[in-house]
Amino acid sequence: MPNALATLALAIWPVVTVVLFLKLPPGRAVIATLVIGYLFLPEPPAGFDFPLVPPLTKHTIPALSALVMWIWMYGHDKNFLPRSPVVNVLFLLFVFSPIATTVLNTEPVEWGQFQIQGMSVRDALAIVIQQVLLIIPFLLARRFLSTADDQRDLMYAFVIGGLLYAIPMLIEIRLSPQLNFWIYGYYQHDFIQTMRFGGFRPMVFLYHGIWAAFFMLMAILAAYALWRTEKTGKPWKLLIAALFLTGILVLAKSLGAWIFAAVLIPVVVFFGSRWQMRLAIFIAAFAIAYPALKGLDLVPQDRLLEYAEGIDPARAQSLGFRFGNENLLLERASEKPLFGWGNYDRNQIMDPATGDIETVTDGRWVILIGQFGWLGFLAEFGLLVLPVFMLWRETRYRTPESYSLLIVPMSLMLAINVFDMLPNATLTPLTWLMAGALTGYAETLKKTRHSYPTAERLEWKPVL
């Protein structure tokens, strides 16, 4: 169980947020509050579980604190909701569709002699609050991180965060993941899953080694992107940082992050912005289409398992286990396709003889479809991938000199984060920060779309 220090760290974070907002510009204050909180505060079960509201944890306390500071310091600000009608529809669907989920799931679920409780009005209120808390980073980023300078700050925050995490990750690679136990008094995940390839993969203060490796991947891509785009100072320092962080990622022993790095680092370093954006579009489109492809049996599962077997039989077995569970959970979700089964493991399959839950939900997408249906999935994934499509629509008609080049690698980073939510549930406040920042910038580009001379907009042809 979390110790007193874990509780204290979460309790004082609102005070830290106040100090950050008083000392820094609002954009940098938002970045510091959420990024530092995500990296160094203790993972659940550390948190505060008050009546009628979801538990307040490291994923919600920094965002809620930043929102309070926004209201306090910028209460006159009317620029709260996105300008795009599509984004607003998805936003409202994301927040309020769980009410319909609750109304349609008031009856208990029977599994032999066992029963799973139905949902109530209290559950509806709690889920709506949970959805609001989840999306606060998106709204903050859209408002305060919508300029090129703000996005540069966010990319630097990834790099600095990666460098700060490198030392504790090296410690855990050598000694095993112990820092969360030593400091906060508990292991945040099953210790057996930290052992890979004859060694340990670090977690530090994150939920799992996969999460730590994926954050390091984001830091690496940000470092290479900044190295390519920085025109002042000493860009070679960014290259050294990128190479150093790449070495840390190799030692982190996460196969998925290795594969992503092998594909994306050459793209960021050698490809132009047009091709990077096209790849981001392809990845984002596949991520949101995957459940439909899976349901239509168009995903080549057997071939993927053969490839995985050639790399590592243990990973092939893990992938096969995931595919099997996804098939079972999709079949279960098809019984309530639009709004899902709701909470309390109602979306899972229970052994009617023992009462044990037989299925495992790893990917974020299958969790969403099972709990909140296809509408819940489209709302969340739509909010995350739509800014990539919005930016593609705006930038394809402009020369690269007319927009911030950092939005292209950031779009790629966001797209691969959403793609990683297919096998894993790696949705974090940083995912929402990137989505919100890109949405805000896309709105700015759209607003200025017709400010170009007519000759530059001739026949509205895309720039190749």
**CA 330/CA 293 separation, integer angstroms:** 12
Measured in whole angstroms, the distance separating CA 225 from the mean position of its chain's CA atoms is 20
Phi-psi group of 206: left, alpha or beta (phi > 0 → left; psi -120 to 50 → alpha; rest → beta): beta
**Can you give the residue ranges of every domain in the chain?**
1-78
Contact assessment for residue 329 and residue 347, using Cβ atoms and an 8 Å cutoff:
yes
Phi/psi of residue 212, each to 5°?
Answer: -65, -45
Which pLDDT value is given to residue 78? 67
Phi/psi of residue 22, each to 5°?
Answer: -80, -25
Q: Scanning the structure block, which residue is given the tokens 């300008």?
A: 83
**CA 311/CA 315 separation, integer angstroms:** 8
Tens digit of each residue's pLDDT, the chain (464 residues): 889 999 999 999 999 999 999 999 999 999 999 999 999 999 999 999 888 788 899 999 999 999 999 989 877 666 778 888 999 999 999 999 999 999 999 999 999 889 999 999 999 999 999 999 999 999 999 999 999 999 999 999 999 999 999 999 999 999 989 999 999 999 888 778 777 777 889 999 999 999 999 999 999 999 999 999 887 667 889 999 999 999 999 999 888 899 999 999 999 999 988 899 999 999 999 999 999 888 888 878 778 787 777 776 776 777 788 888 888 999 999 999 999 999 999 999 998 888 888 888 888 999 999 999 999 999 999 999 999 999 998 888 777 777 888 999 999 999 999 999 998 889 999 999 999 999 999 998 888 766 554 334 434 444 43
Point out which residues pair with 110 in neighbouring strands: 115
- Give CA separation, 138 vs 216, 340, 401, 424, 454, in Å: 21, 24, 27, 20, 35
Q: What is the pTM of this model?
A: 0.92
pLDDT in tens, 382-423: 999 999 999 998 888 777 777 888 999 999 999 999 999 998
Which pLDDT value is given to residue 396? 81
| Helix H or strand E encompassing 64 | helix 61-73
Contact assessment for residue 137 and residue 63, using Cβ atoms and an 8 Å cutoff:
yes
Terminus-to-terminus CA distance in the chain, angstroms?
A: 56
Taken as a whole, the chain contains a residue count of 464
Q: What angle do CA 50, 53, 58 make, to 5 degrees?
A: 75
pLDDT in tens, 190-206: 778 777 777 889 999 99
What is the chain's alpha carbon radius of gyration, rounded to the nearest angstrom?
Answer: 22
pLDDT in tens, 430-459: 999 999 999 999 998 888 766 554 334 434
